Amino acid sequence: MAKDWQELTKITGNNPIIVEKVRLIEKDIAIEGSFELPPLARMTMEDQIFAAAFIQSHGSIKEMERLFGVSYPTIKNRLNKISNSFDFVEVQNVALVEPVGSFEEVADEEMKDKQDKQEKSDIDDILDRLESGETSAKDALEILKIRKEKFKKSIIQNIAKSMEVNDE
């Protein structure tokens, strides 16, 4: 059974590591050598979570401000710090075609879109109740804090799930 990537990050303390053995589970083949982790995997756990949140929010800095409860400059500074940790990559002008994916992947994406729309609707509802005086600022803030924590947990679960899928 594969161990959680966060456990490895805790053990290594964000120090550079080299992978010396890779196992292809389905083929029962092990490859030994000296492999550097890809740049995204070398990021700290906090930066990986931040980057995943940024991707899941479709690059919306406003959404990142809302999720993390920080200002625009703070988000921009964190993004700059993360982007400066990567070597510049030359990108050729290539047409990108998205694969349609399996039925399950398409269904999962549609479900996520519905959940995103529902969450936005819920937040709009909270703001409307606040504006109309139906709820206090304190109660609205508490509800939004709970949603923020749930969202953070879902990000971590999604990262962990994607790491498990990649391990398979």
pTM metric for this prediction: 0.46
10 Å Cβ neighbour count for 119? Answer: 13
In the chain, domain spans? 38-89+99-167
pLDDT, tens digit (0-9, with 9 covering 90-100), for 25-47: 888 888 888 888 788 888 888 88
Q: What are phi and psi of 44, to 5 degrees?
A: -65, 160
Establish how many alpha carbons lie within 13 A of residue 84's alpha carbon, considering only the half-sphere containing its beta carbon: 6
pLDDT, tens digit (0-9, with 9 covering 90-100), for 113-168: 666 666 666 777 777 787 888 878 888 888 878 877 777 777 777 666 665 554 45
